[in-house]
Amino acid sequence: MSELPPYDSSESDESDPRDPNGVFDEIVEAETDRDPDLAVIEAGSRTLRAQGSAAQRVDVPARPADPETDKALREVEADLATRWGETKLEPSVSRIAALMDVLGEPQRAYPSIHITGTNGKTSTARMIEALLGAFDLRTGRYTSPHVQSVTERISLDGTPISAERFIETYEDIKPYVEMVDSQQEYRLSFFEVLTAMAYAAFADAPVDVAVVEVGMGGSWDATNVIDGAVAVVTPIDLDHTDRLGTTPGEIATEKAGIVKQDANVILAQQPVDAAQVLLKKAVEVDATVAREGLEFGVVARQVAVGGQLVTLRGLGGEYEEIFLPLHGAYQAHNAAVALAAVEAFFGVGAAHAQSLDIDTVRKAFASVTSPGRLEIVRRSPTVVLDAAHNPAGARATAEAVSEVFDFSRLIGVVGASADKDVRGLLEAFEPIFSEVVVTRNSSHRAMDVDELAGIAVEIFGEDRVQVEPRLDDAIEAAITLAEEESEYSGGGVLVTGSVITVGEARLLLGRR
């Protein structure tokens, strides 16, 4: 049972004292066009037992406090929602190129670092952004998807742009968007419009450098109207196989599209067939390549309180005793890739051999955050959120959990998207989950909970699977299981399966 009784709004005219900012009411009110139960899930119908979490850096923005601003933002969000979603694609950059043309090519106003790959893109982008900012460069970062607020996708100087600026940017480009819409066979998509907003906001700031993560693939991704001076490819694995290919090599062919003439290419460790494709593309365009494990990499790492201590070999030499406040070997590898990308941007290893200032590098890495990536949101029992949504990501997360945490019993809460390799994801987690609670998030892409349960039973066995259609019930059930017996005082909960699931869990658990 929860330590807090259910709150009945019919008993009082006062707001729920456990939600003093009224976030719950705001979100429910905004979801009037959706299933009321799902709206309640997203809003956080329970505070569970976890609202006493420690203060955190606010890099996932809440709803605007000003009612008029909030209303205007909701109108923009509703307008964007009328467009093709991110999973409906027409493989072409013709529409975004046309829009860039009428906007005056804002993406040409600054140099860019372009990032593709299957996993690790957002964390790597955040590390690159932190490093560039530490060296006094003004940065713009564009990443996707968002954890809780669409404004997270566009950041200036390491901070999501304000709701006011998001609205202004949309209103500024809207007439041009409508002009292009009228001239194209298909209207610009949700992602295309957001990409244009990011590029326009960066030019308006103005930024010294943009750090841009592809949405999907590379060649025909909407972001690919930039000419990245540095192209970064994080590890490639199987995901979006219906659109990108069924082998790492096929997927790499699409992702290699971000490698432009004379660029610097930073390659994370890759499957052999993917590496061959990427290296061939680099040769074709006279790009300079740096490969993890050869030109740069992780020299040493050890688990530390709140993260890990790493020694990295960059293009300009070794960087020792760097504290990275993120968990898992994969984050150390992301850090090595980020460091090499920034070195390449500054010309280290080409124009000059001198390494970057070590104290500045240490300061930058120590400041890195990555919401929803092995993020601890409460203690006793420990609840961890991780946005792993494909088998490769799940395997990396499972390895990191085993390394970092000493759970005597780990309960999984899994809400996945129907278009993902859910079986592969669950198989990756099976060795570390004592039991799994299957659920769903509020997205229309979410897998039916009964279908998810059927797959889970095949993998875990019926006795280890519990079904809770509502996410708040699923988290509550998992916490109860983690605390069920005194011998399991070291129990924990891992909420995973989808960025959307993690974002909604953050709201439920009081993280804003």
In the structure, what pLDDT confidence band is assigned to residue 173 with cuts at 50, 70 and 90?
A: very high
Are 375 and 476 in contact by the 8 Å Cβ rule? The answer is no
pLDDT recorded at residue 351:
61
Higher pLDDT, 64 or 231: 231
- Annotate 213-263 with three-state secondary structure: ECCCCCCCCCCCCCCCCEEEECCCCCCCHHHHCCCHHHHHHHHHHHCCCCC
pLDDT recorded at residue 489:
62
Residue-wise pLDDT for 305-352, tens only, equals 889 999 999 999 999 999 999 999 999 999 999 999 999 999 997 666
Backbone angles phi, psi at 183, to 5 degrees: -105, -5
pLDDT at 385 over 90: yes
Place of tokens 């700031």: 205
Higher pLDDT, 38 or 69: 69
Residue-wise pLDDT for 458-505, tens only, equals 999 999 999 999 999 999 999 999 988 545 468 999 999 998 999 899
Higher pLDDT, 145 or 233: 233
Map residue 338 onto helix, strand or coil: helix
Distance CA 473, CA 46 (A): 9
Higher pLDDT, 23 or 134: 134
Among 42-51, 53-62, 294-303, the least confident range? 42-51
Q: What is the mean pLDDT of the chain?
A: 85
- Annotate 134-196 with three-state secondary structure: HCCCCEEEECCCCCCCHHHHEEECCEECCHHHHHHHHHHHHHHHHHHHHHCCCCCCHHHHHHH
pLDDT at 358 over 60: yes
pLDDT recorded at residue 511:
63
Distance CA 195, CA 80 (A): 12
Decide the pairing of beta strands 491-496 and 382-385. parallel
pLDDT recorded at residue 372:
87
pLDDT at 3 over 70: no
Highest mean pLDDT among 19-28, 40-49, 337-346: 337-346
Q: Taking the model in full, what pTM does it have?
A: 0.83
Of residues 372, 371, 411, the one with CA closest to residue 389: 372
pLDDT at 8 over 70: no
Residue-wise pLDDT for 235-247, tens only, equals 998 665 556 667 8
Distance CA 201, CA 502 (A): 28
Higher pLDDT, 87 or 22: 87
Higher pLDDT, 265 or 244: 265
Of residues 344, 146, 209, 327, the one with CA closest to residue 263: 344
